[in-house]
Amino acid sequence: MNASTQTYVLDASAAVDYIDSGPGAPQIELKLADGLRQQRPLLMSVVNLGEVFYLSWQRSGEEKARQTVARLSRLPLLMVPVDLPQALKASELKAIHKLPYVDAIAAALALQHRATLVTADRDFEKLGRHFSVMWLPRR
């Protein structure tokens, strides 16, 4: 699959980086624009959206957290509910690679869709080189 038709999955760290205009925001902006142009939105698990909501609430309070979720909902992102195969794949990834479960949810979604995971979270290094990851710069 060539890069122009590749599917991408955002994890929570990528979404937070984008919302906070972090160092990876320009890369995510390009992927969002490509997704819009190709009518191929980026994917994000509702569980990872919940993590973004939680992190935003912890840092800046409830109102800011709700604004963050509203802002993300206006982007060309498809929020994907967790189904049983994804939940089981996430559990397998957690068991084998010792990933936090919420990270394993994002990885399982990427595997389900043969997508590239977009992240700044180095926990995903545990998955090895056979897993497609677009690494964002660290803060």
B/e letters for 52-63, b = 16+ CB within 10 Å, e = fewer, are: bbebbbeeeeee
The C-alpha atoms of residue 51 and residue 138 are separated, in whole angstroms, by 19
- Residue 97 falls within a domain, yes or no? no
Per the domain annotation, does 33 fall within a domain? yes
In a domain, 85, yes or no: no
Q: Which domain holds residue 54?
A: 3-80+114-122+129-135
Condensed to tens digits (0 to 9), the pLDDT of residues 105-137 reads: 999 999 999 999 999 999 999 998 888 999 999
Q: Does a structural domain hold residue 95?
A: no
Asked if 40 and 5 touch (Cβ cutoff 8 Å), the reply is yes
What single-letter amino acid sits at 100?
Answer: P
The enclosing domain of 11 has a CATH number of 3.40.50.1010
Over residues 54-68, the pLDDT tens digits come to 999 999 999 999 999
pTM: 0.93
Q: How many domains does the chain have?
A: 1
Taking a C-beta distance cutoff of 8 angstroms, is the pair 90, 104 a contact? yes
